[in-house]
Protein backbone atom coordinates (compact mmCIF):
# COMPACT_ATOMS: atom_id res chain seq x y z
CA UNK A 1 0.00 0.00 0.00
CA UNK A 2 2.78 2.47 0.87
CA UNK A 3 4.36 2.09 -2.57
CA UNK A 4 1.27 3.56 -4.19
CA UNK A 5 1.23 6.59 -1.85
CA UNK A 6 3.05 9.70 -3.06
CA UNK A 7 4.64 12.39 -0.93
CA UNK A 8 5.84 15.81 -2.04
CA UNK A 9 8.72 17.04 0.16
CA UNK A 10 9.59 20.72 -0.01
CA UNK A 11 12.80 21.76 1.75
CA UNK A 12 15.41 24.30 0.66
CA UNK A 13 18.30 22.69 2.56
CA UNK A 14 19.62 20.13 0.06
CA UNK A 15 21.06 17.75 2.68
CA UNK A 16 17.84 17.69 4.70
CA UNK A 17 15.74 17.23 1.55
CA UNK A 18 17.95 14.29 0.54
CA UNK A 19 17.56 12.78 4.03
CA UNK A 20 13.78 13.20 3.98
CA UNK A 21 13.46 11.63 0.53
CA UNK A 22 15.72 8.74 1.55
CA UNK A 23 13.95 8.06 4.88
CA UNK A 24 10.48 8.17 3.34
CA UNK A 25 11.54 6.10 0.32
CA UNK A 26 13.17 3.51 2.58
CA UNK A 27 9.87 3.41 4.47
CA UNK A 28 8.10 2.43 1.25
CA UNK A 29 6.67 5.72 -0.04
CA UNK A 30 7.15 7.26 -3.48
CA UNK A 31 8.70 10.66 -2.85
CA UNK A 32 9.40 13.72 -4.99
CA UNK A 33 11.51 16.58 -3.66
CA UNK A 34 11.49 20.32 -4.42
CA UNK A 35 13.68 23.09 -3.02
CA UNK A 36 11.24 26.01 -3.32
CA UNK A 37 7.54 26.76 -3.10
CA UNK A 38 7.06 27.78 -6.74
CA UNK A 39 8.53 24.52 -8.07
CA UNK A 40 6.47 22.58 -5.53
CA UNK A 41 3.22 24.26 -6.57
CA UNK A 42 3.95 23.57 -10.25
CA UNK A 43 4.70 19.90 -9.53
CA UNK A 44 1.70 19.53 -7.22
CA UNK A 45 -0.58 21.08 -9.87
CA UNK A 46 0.70 18.65 -12.53
CA UNK A 47 0.76 15.41 -10.51
CA UNK A 48 -1.22 13.70 -7.76
CA UNK A 49 0.20 13.53 -4.24
CA UNK A 50 -1.23 12.07 -1.04
CA UNK A 51 0.76 14.24 1.39
CA UNK A 52 2.90 17.38 1.41
CA UNK A 53 5.80 17.70 3.85
CA UNK A 54 6.97 21.28 3.70
CA UNK A 55 9.42 23.65 5.36
CA UNK A 56 7.81 26.88 6.59
CA UNK A 57 10.59 29.17 5.37
CA UNK A 58 11.40 28.69 1.70
CA UNK A 59 12.87 30.99 -0.92
CA UNK A 60 10.28 32.79 -3.04
CA UNK A 61 7.09 31.28 -1.68
CA UNK A 62 7.04 30.03 1.90
CA UNK A 63 5.33 26.88 3.10
CA UNK A 64 2.25 28.61 4.52
CA UNK A 65 1.67 30.47 1.23
CA UNK A 66 2.22 27.22 -0.69
CA UNK A 67 -0.41 25.43 1.37
CA UNK A 68 -2.77 28.41 1.03
CA UNK A 69 -2.48 28.16 -2.77
CA UNK A 70 -2.97 24.39 -2.68
CA UNK A 71 -6.16 24.96 -0.67
CA UNK A 72 -7.45 27.17 -3.52
CA UNK A 73 -7.14 24.39 -6.12
CA UNK A 74 -10.16 22.25 -7.12
CA UNK A 75 -11.54 20.28 -4.19
CA UNK A 76 -10.07 16.85 -4.95
CA UNK A 77 -6.59 18.39 -4.95
CA UNK A 78 -7.01 21.02 -2.25
CA UNK A 79 -7.68 18.61 0.60
CA UNK A 80 -4.30 16.89 0.60
CA UNK A 81 -2.91 16.70 4.15
CA UNK A 82 0.27 18.56 5.01
CA UNK A 83 3.03 18.38 7.60
CA UNK A 84 5.11 21.48 8.31
CA UNK A 85 8.78 21.52 9.28
CA UNK A 86 10.51 24.52 10.80
CA UNK A 87 13.66 25.51 12.61
CA UNK A 88 11.43 27.64 14.83
CA UNK A 89 8.83 26.52 17.36
CA UNK A 90 7.19 29.96 17.41
CA UNK A 91 3.55 29.51 18.54
CA UNK A 92 2.36 32.12 16.00
CA UNK A 93 3.93 30.17 13.15
CA UNK A 94 2.44 26.92 14.46
CA UNK A 95 -1.02 28.57 14.62
CA UNK A 96 -0.64 29.95 11.09
CA UNK A 97 0.25 26.49 9.80
CA UNK A 98 -2.60 24.75 11.55
CA UNK A 99 -5.00 27.47 10.36
CA UNK A 100 -4.16 26.35 6.82
CA UNK A 101 -4.97 22.78 7.80
CA UNK A 102 -1.55 21.32 8.55
CA UNK A 103 -1.99 17.92 10.18
CA UNK A 104 1.31 18.11 12.08
CA UNK A 105 4.23 20.43 12.80
CA UNK A 106 7.79 19.31 13.52
CA UNK A 107 10.67 21.46 14.76
CA UNK A 108 14.05 20.71 13.19
CA UNK A 109 16.09 18.68 13.69
CA UNK A 110 13.38 16.19 12.84
CA UNK A 111 13.10 12.90 14.72
CA UNK A 112 12.43 10.56 11.80
CA UNK A 113 10.66 7.97 13.96
CA UNK A 114 8.12 10.58 15.01
CA UNK A 115 7.79 11.95 11.48
CA UNK A 116 7.31 8.48 9.98
CA UNK A 117 4.73 7.67 12.66
CA UNK A 118 2.76 10.78 11.73
CA UNK A 119 3.07 10.05 8.01
CA UNK A 120 1.83 6.48 8.51
CA UNK A 121 -1.11 7.71 10.60
CA UNK A 122 -2.08 10.39 8.07
CA UNK A 123 -1.84 7.93 5.19
CA UNK A 124 -3.94 5.37 7.07
CA UNK A 125 -6.63 7.96 7.82
CA UNK A 126 -6.57 9.14 4.19
CA UNK A 127 -7.15 5.63 2.89
CA UNK A 128 -10.25 5.01 5.04
18 domain-assigned: yes
Among 95, 113, 94, 102, CA closest to 71: 102
121 domain-assigned: no
pLDDT of residue 96 exceeding 80: no
Domain, as residue range, for 99: 2-110
State the pLDDT confidence band at 35, using cuts at 50, 70 and 90.
very high
Mean pLDDT, all residues of the chain: 90
122 domain-assigned: no
Q: What is the pLDDT of residue 77?
A: 78
Q: Which residues of 108-119 are buried (b: 16+ CB within 10 A; e: fewer)?
A: eebebeebbebb
124 domain-assigned: no
CATH number of the structural domain spanning residue 37: 3.40.50.2300
pLDDT of residue 6 exceeding 90: yes
119 domain-assigned: no
Amino acid sequence: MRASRRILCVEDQADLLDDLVLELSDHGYRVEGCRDGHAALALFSAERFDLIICDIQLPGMGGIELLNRVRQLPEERSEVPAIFLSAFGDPEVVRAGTAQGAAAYFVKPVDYRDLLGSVDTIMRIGSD
